[in-house]
Structure 1
Amino acid sequence: MLKRVFVAPDPGRIRLRFAARAVLGIGLAAAVCGLTGQSLAGAVTGGLAALLALFTVTDATLRGQAVTTALLPCVGLPVLAAAAELHAHPVARDLTFLAVVGAGVYARRWGPRGHSLGVFAFMTFFVAQFLHATTAQLPALYAAVALSVLTAAAVRFGLWCYERRLHPPAVPAPPTGRGLARVTTRQAVQATAGAGFALVVGQLVSGQRWYWAVGATWWIFVNTASRGETVVRGFRRVLGTVLGIALGLLVAVPVQGAPVPTAILVAACVFLIFYSAAVSYTWMMLSVTLMAELLYGLLGVLNPGLLALRFAETGVGALGAVLAVLLVLPVTTHTTTDAWIQRALRCVHTCTAEATARLAGSGRADPTERITELEQLLGRVRLSVAPLVHPLNPMLGRKRRARRVLALLDDCAHEIRGLAAVAADPQASHDSRLAAACRRVETAVEALTYGEASPLTATAAGPPAEPALAHLHGLERALAELAEPLRARSGMPRWNRLDALV
């Protein structure tokens, strides 16, 4: 698991820069809150606001990112006011919290901006419960949120705006539909039902920390699109929490809120949250859990009993999420899985065409940003396929086919990265065979994505003289081998048959 986090491909060192910038932005936001006389509660609220501004905003363009960042306080501050006002009215508070959950998930239908605003609204309500915020604190908390979002924006769009050079691709969106066929609509109903279960049972477990259960349910639903994905994420959420609690007993409890070591450890947790998010949900949750423990240490309430309670509430939240996706408007895995695989394969062709055009001398062709998009799509494929390759899946044949598909898609990505590296060399020459090989790749992708009946075969050729041709031939072989697990003899997609378990 540790190897997966630190050895996973990081094209352009995007994850590294993402994590380092987060530490800088959140650290500066906390410093600004301190310099302006904010209380500890204000600094925690501001730090969370900066974290969300840097973590959740994923619009495809810098302008879109700036607009979404500017809208965060417009959504968060009214929710914060409602949460503080309703502390003395538990029933109204609970119903409002569930409404925020449902609206936050439903907002994902409007793409990355809706997702970002929905997460910010939920977490603003959540932090009000975490800090027991009162109406008297609202002016100071408003200022902390505004200052922190502004500081995070200054870092993201001014001090360290690496996206300006990279032109980040559009963030992959889940498959769409109409009415209850739309994934986001079904998930909004599921999340509300799961959060309702977590809220009621969580309050039976603890009248003070019940919101942990609701938070666990919420975050299990984030970035999932099927019941299989949600079940696996629930398992990983609990596993990450258990590991984080164990580490907290060794680290956070002995520190007991000492300012300097706590600040250093929180910075390390922030780095790991951002660095591991794209490759390991378990590691991300371990880091989140440890960071929460350190913050409780600052507040002076950390003890082993509190950690045991966090585990219990996380289990309640995970159970609520699993029951909701299994019983309430379930979304099957195969629909989303097939869509993500097809999009990844089409991106493979686009990357190949860009690299080949670059080798042919085109100054405008640049496969780098397409490779970043491919990595994002492959991440979505892995998430969707996770139920099939999970160690607890007893369907061994399906598990083998799913692993084969993932391995071959990884081979495609490896060959694409190698081809792009060759294309980036100004001394690389254009071989006349490149165009023909690229056309064969295009034909292979069309056969896999559009269900053509003609069989796919790799080109029988000796070792090519040009490195670019070697990568293209390797890509052809991987695509040809993908035909067997992805297609049935009739020519219809076989992938849909892998879903019976979930």
Structure 2
Amino acid sequence: MSRSVFARTRDRIPSPSALGRALAEATATLLAALATMLCALAIAPGAGAATLAVVLCISLSRSQLDRDLRGRLEAAVVLPLIGVVALGVGLLLRHLPWVGAAVFVAGMFVSIWLRRFGPMARRAGSLIALPFVVLLTVPHLGPAAASGVLPVWLVPIVVALLALFWVTVFHLLVRWLRIRPPVDTEDAPAAEPAAPDKPGLAASTRMAIQMGVALTVAFVVGFLFFHERWGWIVLTAFIVNSGNRGRLDVVYKSGMRVLGAAAGTAIALGLGQHVGIDHRSSAILILAALFLGVWLRPFGYAWWALFVTLALALLQGFGDSEPVGLLWLRMEEIVLGAIIGIAAAWFVLPVRSTDVLRRRLADALAALSDALDPATEQRSATRFNTALDRVEEVTPPFRAARLLLRRRTLHPADWADTLLDCGEPARALIDQGATPGRIRQAVGAARRSLREPETLLPSLLALRSNLRGD
């Protein structure tokens, strides 16, 4: 009835063209980060401004906010204001940590909660979230050096505008070269709600509450029990709850975060202990790790976790601590942050991952139905392709669960894999302008079966067979 796990895995291997597009995107992001960092160092010598520059470039590149004129104008207006707020929150975290933590949690809550008010509010929420990330990566570094050519309060404004300028320049260059970068919406703050809203409570509100609870617990545990090392706990809780697509998604990202962090920290410790890297070589390795993370992220979250953790470990250094002991301390903090994130997603207004998957399957089937409708004047597979991409985004946790449980059929991952198998023959029909009645009936049967999950896989298998002419 279904193909082997090996065959399905083979189909998900990135194609050379996809790797090439991702490489172009990563190169543009790295060049923008380098240009912004050099400008930041010129106006404010020190690691704080340079770190802010790199983080803003990476976040802006992933958010896609610079891809149209309206987004660029909004970012140019809002980013400088948020940069000043981030400066203030950073100072609070250093001098009044409990107050700074409260402001940080409130800021992240608002950035997610705003999504319920439409596209403009979602973009504003995306912009609000960007500068706060740097405060988790290097919480004790000031955002500017007092010895710079600009006042301290003006540095984050200038750095934010520089980041927007250079990211826009290099993305326009990529578009001019006609290289289409992959759109990776995972964890993007501007993403649509993860699941259908419950009556009286929007999905974005539930996600904001989950994030607020996770960050609050992480800050409390970090401040009370880990003192100066609270950043790794809060950062992990933030990462695993970002772009929450249900409980299973949070568990999956937590596992990938822990595995990737373990590998990244071990590599960083090995480099620091055996190679004896200096500040210049450390900076080169950090940029190389970020480049690899940005390049490979569209093809697996574990790559991002591995290389970002490696970059953070090199950035924060190991001081005079014994390397192996510090490795275990950091892994303890990362695991604790992951547990906090999972608990918040599991027990605070939880979202079922299967509900998210069924919602995206329904959207894909609806798009296919419209594309095959004879009454449609201009038939296009664009909407169907986008819907399939959204199905693919939420499928990896289900595939991992199927592999761990050693189940081959009757698993939610089979729903997604079967519909994804329909993509190529469905696009061929749409391009040909054909509208076979049996295909439309099979699509309708699959849409109706969404109400009864036990009949969904047989209906999707029947649709695949009809599309392939079996």
Q: Aligned in 2, Cα 1:169/1:318: closer, same or farther, shift over 3 Å?
A: closer
**Mapped partners of 1:63, 1:372: distance in 2:** 25
Q: Aligned in 2, Cα 1:271/1:209: closer, same or farther, shift over 3 Å?
A: same
Equivalence for 2:55:
48
Which residue of 405, 408, 411 maps to 2:418? 408
Structure 1 position 119, deviation (Å): 2.7
| 5+ residue gaps, structure 1 | 424-429, 460-471, 481-502
Which residue of 154, 173, 197 maps to 2:169? 154
Equivalence for 1:447:
445
User: Is the partner of 1:77 in helix, strand or coil?
Assistant: helix
Q: Aligned in 2, Cα 1:234/1:212: closer, same or farther, shift over 3 Å?
A: same
Q: Aligned in 2, Cα 1:95/1:451: closer, same or farther, shift over 3 Å?
A: same
Counterpart AA for 1:120? L
Q: Does 1:39 align with 2:46?
A: yes
Equivalence for 1:108:
115
Structure 1 position 330, deviation (Å): 1.7
Give the conservation status (yes or no) of the 8 Å contact 1:226–1:384.
Answer: no
Equivalence for 2:149:
none
**Mapped partners of 2:236, 2:308: distance in 1:** 11
Give the conservation status (yes or no) of the 8 Å contact 1:279–1:379.
Answer: no
Q: Does 1:316 align with 2:336?
A: yes
**Mapped partners of 2:17, 2:371: distance in 1:** 14
Give the conservation status (yes or no) of the 8 Å contact 2:223–2:230.
Answer: yes
Equivalence for 1:129:
139
**Mapped partners of 1:447, 1:214: distance in 2:** 46
Counterpart AA for 1:161? R
**Mapped partners of 1:257, 1:57: distance in 2:** 35
Give the conservation status (yes or no) of the 8 Å contact 1:68–1:116.
Answer: no
Counterpart AA for 2:63? T
**Mapped partners of 1:144, 1:450: distance in 2:** 52
Give the conservation status (yes or no) of the 8 Å contact 1:107–1:118.
Answer: no
Give the conservation status (yes or no) of the 8 Å contact 2:245–2:351.
Answer: yes
Structure 1 position 118, deviation (Å): 4.2
**Mapped partners of 2:461, 2:57: distance in 1:** 50
Residue by residue over 1:315-374, the C-alpha shift from the partner in whole angstroms, topping out at 9 and shown as x without a partner, is: 1211111111222222222321210111233345567789xx9xxxx9x8765x557624
User: Is the partner of 1:161 in helix, strand or coil?
Assistant: helix
Q: Aligned in 2, Cα 1:187/1:323: closer, same or farther, shift over 3 Å?
A: same
Structure 1 position 385, deviation (Å): 3.3
| 5+ residue gaps, structure 2 | 1-5, 147-151, 186-190
**Mapped partners of 1:10, 1:408: distance in 2:** 24
Structure 1 position 226, deviation (Å): 1.5
Q: Aligned in 2, Cα 1:294/1:322: closer, same or farther, shift over 3 Å?
A: same
Give the conservation status (yes or no) of the 8 Å contact 1:444–1:476.
Answer: no
Structure 1 position 286, deviation (Å): 0.5
**Mapped partners of 2:176, 2:274: distance in 1:** 38
**Mapped partners of 2:328, 2:100: distance in 1:** 26
Structure 1 position 254, deviation (Å): 4.2
**Mapped partners of 1:316, 1:457: distance in 2:** 40
Equivalence for 2:160:
145
Counterpart AA for 2:136? F
**Mapped partners of 2:53, 2:128: distance in 1:** 18
Matches within 5 A, 1:82-231: 82-85=89-92, 87-109=94-116, 110=118, 112-127=122-137, 129-132=139-142, 137-156=152-171, 158-161=172-175, 173-174=192-193, 175-177=195-197, 181-231=201-251
User: Is the partner of 2:86 in helix, strand or coil?
Assistant: helix
Residue by residue over 1:203-258, the C-alpha shift from the partner in whole angstroms, topping out at 9 and shown as x without a partner, is: 24421120221111111111222122212222221121112112223335545553
Counterpart AA for 1:173? E
Give the conservation status (yes or no) of the 8 Å contact 1:255–1:261.
Answer: no
**Mapped partners of 1:145, 1:309: distance in 2:** 34
Give the conservation status (yes or no) of the 8 Å contact 2:80–2:156.
Answer: no
How many residues are paired up? Answer: 440
Equivalence for 1:486:
none
Cα RMSD for the two superposed structures: 4.2
Q: Aligned in 2, Cα 1:91/1:261: closer, same or farther, shift over 3 Å?
A: closer
Equivalence for 2:351:
331
**Mapped partners of 1:11, 1:285: distance in 2:** 24
Q: Percent identity?
A: 22
Counterpart AA for 1:65? G
**Mapped partners of 1:6, 1:436: distance in 2:** 29
TM-score of the pair, normalised by structure 1? 0.73
Equivalence for 2:13:
7
Equivalence for 2:393:
380
TM-score of the pair, normalised by structure 2? 0.78
Give the conservation status (yes or no) of the 8 Å contact 1:252–1:293.
Answer: no
